């Protein structure tokens, strides 16, 4: 990383640095997205050095093409990039299979971060999301067994750091008491309608970096959060956030991303539009006031 990248990064518990801004490449499976390669190339051109994907996203081949295209152009080297992958698994043996598939499809020799995507084993079904008539089917596999397989991967030196996704305080606490290698990060949904302040406090106290994977809300996945004035379909249109954006002459998206970064939380907004991708890099050029931060947390407190 150059000096600018280092200043826009956060230290993980092994001393390595992770860029605070990344590109999330998830897209609902029922919607077409043929521009993943373009989005990753646009992100790299805009200065992103953190790319997030997962085994189940089905886009690793295109991401690999984008990475190698930029490497061949001399714009980046492998060591400049921080590549994150996640595994949603059915059993312990699925973790190395998923990992090796990811390396092959991404055309990489190692990953910077590999995450255990859920806290339970999942039963295999005919689709990619382990569902039966819309219900996710879990198995009796303990996530501690899954974590031991993650630790074995890190010992192989093919991944620099391992972490979790969607873990709560109770699950993290159990893991920390029984693991050999503590998680470097916990990737969860965070935004002003889902503040998770206790989780933020816990992770800071245990040296686990948080990554906000849905900083603009999650309209397709959070109907429980819809209440008067806090529809996750309309987080970017919330009048309170719009007013703060106008005060700083920024977009609501920039305010929401800055809200996290200013707390030492990494953000991975997703977009396939080059102007949005570029706009998101501007979050390091301004700061929210202490009053802005307090009002965002208090006024938009998530329901218990």
Cα angle for residues 182, 6, 116 (degrees, 5° grid): 30
Q: Which helix (H) or strand (E) holds 43?
A: helix 36-46
- Is 48 annotated in the active site? no
Q: Say what the pTM is.
A: 0.88
C-beta separation of 116 from 146 below 8 A: yes
Band the pLDDT of 92: cuts 50, 70, 90.
confident
Domain 3-299 is in which class?
A: alpha beta
Rounded CA-CA distance 229/85 in Å is 35
Pairing status of strand 135-136 against strand 159-165:
unpaired
52-66, 218-232, 255-269, range with greatest mean pLDDT: 255-269
| Residue count (the chain) | 304
Band the pLDDT of 124: cuts 50, 70, 90.
low
Helices 290-299 and 239-248 sit at what angle, rounded to 10 degrees? 170
Give the sign of the dihedral formed by CA 285, CA 46, CA 238, CA 27.
Answer: negative
Band the pLDDT of 253: cuts 50, 70, 90.
very high
Q: Is the pLDDT of residue 148 over 70?
A: yes
Q: Is the pLDDT of residue 3 over 80?
A: no
For a pLDDT cut of 90, what percent of the chain falls above it?
Answer: 66
Q: Is the pLDDT of residue 225 over 70?
A: no
Q: Is the pLDDT of residue 27 over 80?
A: no
Provide the token pair at 93: 């043996």
Cα angle for residues 188, 97, 148 (degrees, 5° grid): 60
Band the pLDDT of 119: cuts 50, 70, 90.
low
Q: Is the pLDDT of residue 76 over 60?
A: yes
What pLDDT was estimated at residue 228?
47
Q: One of 38, 48, 57, 193 is an active-site residue; which one?
A: 57
């Amino acid at each position: 990383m150059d000096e600018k990248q280092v200043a826009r990064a956060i230290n993980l518990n092994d001393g390595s640095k992770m860029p605070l801004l990344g590109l999330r490449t998830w897209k609902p499976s029922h919607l077409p997205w043929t521009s993943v390669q373009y989005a990753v190339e646009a992100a790299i051109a805009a200065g992103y050095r953190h790319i997030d994907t997962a085994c189940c996203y089905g886009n690793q081949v295109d991401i690999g093409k984008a990475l190698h295209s930029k490497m061949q152009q001399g714009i980046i080297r492998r060591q400049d990039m921080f590549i994150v992958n996640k595994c949603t698994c059915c059993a312990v043996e699925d973790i190395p299979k998923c990992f090796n598939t990811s390396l092959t499809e991404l055309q990489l020799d190692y990953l910077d971060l590999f995450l255990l995507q859920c806290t339970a084993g999942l039963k295999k079904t005919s689709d990619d999301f382990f569902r039966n008539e819309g219900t996710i089917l879990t198995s009796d596999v303990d996530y501690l067994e899954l974590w031991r397989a993650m630790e074995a991967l890190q010992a192989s030196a093919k991944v620099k750091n391992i972490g979790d996704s969607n873990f709560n305080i109770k699950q993290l606490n159990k893991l920390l008491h029984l693991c050999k290698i503590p998680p470097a990060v916990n990737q969860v949904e965070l935004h002003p309608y889902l503040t998770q302040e206790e989780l933020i406090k816990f992770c800071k106290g245990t040296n686990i970096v948080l990554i906000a994977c849905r900083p603009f809300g999650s309209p397709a996945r959070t109907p429980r959060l819809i209440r008067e004035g806090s529809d996750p379909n309309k987080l970017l249109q919330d009048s309170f956030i719009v007013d703060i954006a106008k005060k700083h002459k920024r977009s609501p998206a920039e305010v929401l991303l800055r809200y996290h970064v200013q707390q030492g939380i990494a953000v991975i907004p997703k977009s396939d539009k080059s102007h949005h991708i570029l706009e998101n890099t501007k979050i390091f050029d301004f700061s929210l006031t202490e009053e802005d931060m307090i009002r965002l947390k208090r006024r938009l407190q998530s329901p218990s």
